Chains A and B, each alone.
Chain A
Amino acid sequence: MNNIFVYCENEEGKVADVSLELLTKGRVLADTLGCELEALVLGHNLAGVEKELAEYGADRIHIADCACLAPYRTLPHAAVVCGIFKEEQPQIALFGASPVGRDLGPRVSSALHSGLTADCTSLEIGSHTDVKTGKEYQNLLYQIRPAFGGNIIATIINPDHRPQMATVREGVMKKEKAKTPGKGVVVKVDANKYLKDSDFVVRIIDRQIEKRKINIKNASVIVAGGYGMGSKENFQLLFDLADVLGAEVGASRAAVDAGMADHARQVGQTGVTVRPKLYIACGISGQIQHTAGMDQSAMIISINSDPEAPINKIADYAIVGDAMEIIPKMIKYYKQNSK
């Protein structure tokens, strides 16, 4: 049966949020297509993992439990995933757009000669008519993603090759337990059947899991605060908004000097220059020192109680009001409206 497969990334049996988000989405797609949702878990010490996966809608759960599969390495995982896909012939296969999924997905797609669309922001089911041949396709996966630095939105399809593969970033899809849990049938996989010695040519000699470093330079959305935020406690609200949006928190020099934020978060001439897709400036007046580091942002929203604040001259949207009241509203309406 041509079902939907989700590769479930895990660290010692704890399944990553991005994989649970994909199961949530996969459940919806499976119901639309009238097929089953299958989870694929590769790793070690995976006992009991099936319970959570069934809660998120998985009907069948393939578990390959072997010391040789943890920590993640490209070649052994690719060999097992390709082996299972060849047997099960999925119509759709989803991976997290994490360093693991973006390492594994292309390897698998090349081995199976099936297309892969990276970093999708939306997945839908739809039909397609080929302009040249007039051939009609039903129930294709529309893989929708921004391209060209976020300046265009492309809908990609994979009409003639299976599985239709896509990766999705963490936080893009909603994570929600299924209303009716999946059947949760466990399929034990003998990994050794698919593996050969040469799959272990890359050896891991050291592995350090570290606390996340502040990295505002590569953030696609930045919520930044200025002196106008008033206090370090009020700054916490910016972190709340950033958490919800999957953004990083930036700060003006005045806010950093006043001890409201860490220096690593400073945007501007003496800090970091950023070019995110969206920059939300809260309580920032917009001195040139600051704007020099962010005026190339694709979109700027300012929240300031002063309607004449200089930041409004470069903003695309200027919200006049108190950030302490407006930010909670943004959090509330984002939660209500996001998928």
Chain B
Amino acid sequence: MKKTLKIVVLAKQVPDTRNVGKDAMKADGTVNRAALPAIFNPEDLNALEQALVLKDMFPGSRIDLLTMGPGRAAEIIREGMFRGADGGVLLTDRKFAGSDTLATSYALSRAVAKLNPDIIIAGRQAIDGDTAQVGPQVAEKLNLPQVTYAEEIVGFEGEELIIRRRLEHGVETVACSLPLVVTVNGSAPDCRPRNAKLVMKYKHAITPSECQQDEVSCYADLRTNRPYLNITEWNVSDVDADDQQLGLSGSPTKVKKIENVVFAAKEAKRLTGSDRDIESLIQELIASHTLG
């Protein structure tokens, strides 16, 4: 077993769909997506924690956060660095727009191939789509084994990594040699908080695009002397990806229609316990997909 590991954590910046309180509602009862804060996808934080546990076991290991998204997604790379990641890569390009899970997985797999890690750890799923597809699809694209629904990376036995994973009604412990893809379930331990020293160390870490936008000096000298403050930014050609497999053209699934779910007004609707009232309420809940 190697003394140090190269670990890539796949992470996504997502709108906080769990906190669609009544403030984020528009007058017509639909969600005002712009009003939702952008956050580090919760299960990706569970994934980062498992990477940090591995790094604790094998000091000198390196953790890179890989995220695909617009320029502002660099925020979660910094957040990861404040919690113990060593650096990150922002995969960003207009050509990624409109990608479904398969096209996204293809793009991520190209970047992972370039990073060439020993282990790839991702959250089970992102809260804006809830598909849980990207982890397994990245694994397939790289022809690597996958272990999903992981709750704990226990450690090594010989050359094999031991992982405890959740089943529908139970738990399973598996062993697998490297490299592999692990997706981490929300029931795994929470991620450790920011470390004050790391916040001081990395607070000026930025991507080249952020540097261009920053018209005031942007601490240029600082970043020359301290290369760890430069967050890597890659586009399609940097990862040698095929345009045809990206964006809309690379996505087998198409969105035919989107309907907003309309929530009832704030004032409670008063119902009696009559059969008629109860039946129409149940029908309404089924029609709005609240039930079923």
A interface residues (Cβ-Cβ under 8 A, vs B): 71, 74-75, 78, 98-100, 102-103, 105-107, 109-111, 113-119, 121, 128, 142-143, 146-161, 172, 201-212, 218, 221, 245, 275, 277-278, 296, 298-299, 301-303, 307, 312-313, 315-322, 325-326, 329-330, 333-334, 336-339
**A105 vs B286: C-alpha distance when bound (angstroms):** 27
**A329 vs B277: C-alpha distance when bound (angstroms):** 10
Q: Which of A110, A303, A318, A329 contacts B269 (CB 8 A)?
A: A318
Chain A proximity of B197: nearest CB distance (Å): 31
Is there an interface contact between B259 and A153, defined as CB atoms closer than 8 Å? yes
**A299 vs B186: C-alpha distance when bound (angstroms):** 23
The chain A residue with its CB closest to the CB of B291 is A245
Is there an interface contact between A209 and B169, defined as CB atoms closer than 8 Å? yes
- Known contacts being A99-B148, A147-B130, is A299 close to B176, with CB within 8 Å? no
In chain B between 260 and 292, which residues have their CB closer than 8 angstroms to a CB of chain A?
Answer: 260-261, 263-264, 268-273, 275, 277-279, 281-283, 285-286, 289-292
4 closest A-B pairs (Cβ-Cβ)? A149-B17, A321-B273, A115-B252, A115-B253
Is there an interface contact between A111 and B170, defined as CB atoms closer than 8 Å? no
**A205 vs B163: C-alpha distance when bound (angstroms):** 10
CB neighbours (8 Å) of B130 from chain A are 118-119, 147, 149
CB neighbours (8 Å) of B162 from chain A are 205
- Known contacts being A147-B130, A205-B173, A318-B270, is A299 close to B263, with CB within 8 Å? yes
Is there an interface contact between A116 and B133, defined as CB atoms closer than 8 Å? yes
CB neighbours (8 Å) of B141 from chain A are 110
**A96 vs B105: C-alpha distance when bound (angstroms):** 22
The chain A residue with its CB closest to the CB of B279 is A333
Is there an interface contact between A321 and B291, defined as CB atoms closer than 8 Å? no
CB neighbours (8 Å) of B277 from chain A are 319
Is there an interface contact between A107 and B139, defined as CB atoms closer than 8 Å? yes
Q: Mark B157-188, 1 if CB is under 8 A from A, else 0.
A: 00010100011111111111100100000100
**A202 vs B250: C-alpha distance when bound (angstroms):** 30
- Known contacts being A159-B254, A202-B145, is A146 close to B272, with CB within 8 Å? no
Chain B proximity of A147: nearest CB distance (Å): 6
Q: Which of B15, B148, B168, B252 contacts A114 (CB 8 A)?
A: B252
* Interface residue B137 (Cβ < 8 Å from any Cβ of A): yes
Is there an interface contact between A278 and B268, defined as CB atoms closer than 8 Å? no
- Known contacts being A74-B145, A151-B31, A339-B292, is A204 close to B174, with CB within 8 Å? yes
**A133 vs B87: C-alpha distance when bound (angstroms):** 44
Q: Mark B121-158, 1 if CB is under 8 A from A, else 0.
A: 00000011111111111011100011111000000000
Q: Which of A110, A204, A312 contacts B105 (CB 8 A)?
A: A110
- Known contacts being A296-B19, A318-B270, is A109 close to B169, with CB within 8 Å? no
Is there an interface contact between A334 and B282, defined as CB atoms closer than 8 Å? yes
Q: A116-B101, A337-B282, A337-B283 are in contact. List 8 more A-B contacts (CB 8 A).
A: A106-B101, A106-B134, A106-B140, A118-B130, A149-B20, A210-B170, A277-B290, A319-B277
CB neighbours (8 Å) of B21 from chain A are 296
Is there an interface contact between A208 and B170, defined as CB atoms closer than 8 Å? yes
Chain B proximity of A231: nearest CB distance (Å): 20
CB pairs A–B below 8 angstroms (17 shown): A74-B145, A106-B101, A115-B102, A115-B251, A115-B253, A151-B30, A152-B259, A156-B254, A159-B254, A207-B173, A299-B263, A303-B273, A315-B268, A318-B271, A320-B273, A329-B275, A337-B283
CB neighbours (8 Å) of B264 from chain A are 299, 316-317
Q: Mark B238-267, 1 if CB is under 8 A from A, else 0.
A: 000000000000011111111111011000
With a 10 A CB-CB cut-off, give which of A156, A302, A319 has the most chain B CB atoms. A319
Chain A proximity of B14: nearest CB distance (Å): 9
**A157 vs B255: C-alpha distance when bound (angstroms):** 6
CB neighbours (8 Å) of B261 from chain A are 146, 150-153
Is there an interface contact between A147 and B286, defined as CB atoms closer than 8 Å? no
Is there an interface contact between B132 and A113, defined as CB atoms closer than 8 Å? no
- Known contacts being A74-B145, A326-B273, is A118 close to B132, with CB within 8 Å? yes
**A152 vs B130: C-alpha distance when bound (angstroms):** 13
* Interface residue B192 (Cβ < 8 Å from any Cβ of A): no
Is there an interface contact between A161 and B252, defined as CB atoms closer than 8 Å? yes
Is there an interface contact between B283 and A103, defined as CB atoms closer than 8 Å? no
* Interface residue B18 (Cβ < 8 Å from any Cβ of A): yes
Chain A proximity of B132: nearest CB distance (Å): 5
Is there an interface contact between A313 and B268, defined as CB atoms closer than 8 Å? yes
Q: Which of A74, A212, A333 contacts B282 (CB 8 A)?
A: A333
Is there an interface contact between A152 and B140, defined as CB atoms closer than 8 Å? no
Q: Mark B79-108, 1 if CB is under 8 A from A, else 0.
A: 000000000000000000000111001000
